[in-house]
Structure 1
Amino acid sequence: MTNEADPQPEDFAQLLARLKSEYGIGDSEVARRIDVSVSTVNTWVHRKRQPRREALEKLAHSFPKFSRSEIFAAADRETPGPLSADDKQEILELLADLTAEQQELQKIQIRAIAERNRSALS
């Protein structure tokens, strides 16, 4: 009896192919809808680069048949959590109560975490 390996998760190029098929569009229309160049989309199609977070967000917004989680997962990225206006305000108020040095340390920590989340862009 042979063991079947678990199927590989869909990568971003595969997701783009499925998205284009589902919507009946090409690279140029994807590029137009998310405000990037066709050559940028082409680098994703040919697995030369992974998209930035902003492009992933725009794809999710522009192509609602594909969930935000699905798009981020295909790009091998964790889906960023939602940040409401109230949450933003609370974070700013918390930072305002810190000393200048503590604020700088918090910015360094947040940047490090964000960079770790972006590290899958290779």
Structure 2
Amino acid sequence: MTEERDETFVQLMAALMEEYGVNESEISRAIGVHASTVYKWTSGERGGQRGPRPEALRKLAAAYPKFSEDRIFAAVGRQAPGNLDEDAEARLLAYYRELTAEQQEMLEVQARAVAERNRTGQ
């Protein structure tokens, strides 16, 4: 399911740059991506149909907290991934370790497919 957009990613990036008084180079340094990547975001050339990587979007939200993960992900037509605290991660790993090798492989294939669907927004 694709998140409904009230603003495009280009609009969001323009608002972020205005709000924080930053340019593409400053954003790229703050989140650890190439300046040309941020330029593509601000010009509407997001780099293929997948758009920005979830990790980059999360870093953007962390570096510029007036723009929430939910808002940033919605602007690219996706829902923000859920947070995974250490306890939840430990529980999931414990469950995974109880599975057979075949079950682990099946679960990994399913998880990869769901994650890919989230990345593409389809």
TM-score, scaled to structure 1: 0.89
Runs of 4+ in structure 1 deviating by more than 2 angstroms, as ranges, are none
Aligned sequence identity (%): 49
The amino acid that maps onto 1:77 is R
Q: For residue 15 of structure 2, what is the aligned residue in structure 1? A: 18
User: Deviation of residue 107 (structure 1)?
Assistant: 0.4
Equivalent residue for 1:28, pick from 4, 21, 25: 25
> Is 1:42 aligned with 2:39?
yes
SS of structure 2 residue aligned to 1:56? helix
Q: For residue 59 of structure 2, what is the aligned residue in structure 1? A: 58
SS of structure 2 residue aligned to 1:76? coil
The amino acid that maps onto 1:56 is L
RMSD over equivalenced CA pairs, Å: 1.3
- Aligned counterparts of 2:111 and 2:121: Cα–Cα separation in 1: 17
Q: Mind listing any 5+ residue stretches in structure 2 that lack a counterpart?
A: none
- Aligned counterparts of 1:56 and 1:75: Cα–Cα separation in 2: 9
* Rg comparison, structure with higher value: 1
> Is 1:95 aligned with 2:96?
yes
TM-score, scaled to structure 2: 0.89
User: Deviation of residue 76 (structure 1)?
Assistant: 1.0
User: Deviation of residue 89 (structure 1)?
Assistant: 0.6
- Aligned counterparts of 1:36 and 1:102: Cα–Cα separation in 2: 36
- Aligned counterparts of 1:37 and 1:98: Cα–Cα separation in 2: 40
The amino acid that maps onto 1:14 is Q
SS of structure 2 residue aligned to 1:28? helix
Q: For residue 4 of structure 1, what is the aligned residue in structure 2? A: none
The amino acid that maps onto 2:69 is R
SS of structure 1 residue aligned to 2:90? helix
Q: For residue 114 of structure 1, what is the aligned residue in structure 2? A: 115
The amino acid that maps onto 1:97 is E
Higher RCO by CA contacts (8 Å cutoff, separation 6 or greater) = 2
Q: Mind listing any 5+ residue stretches in structure 1 that lack a counterpart?
A: 1-7
User: Deviation of residue 120 (structure 1)?
Assistant: 3.2
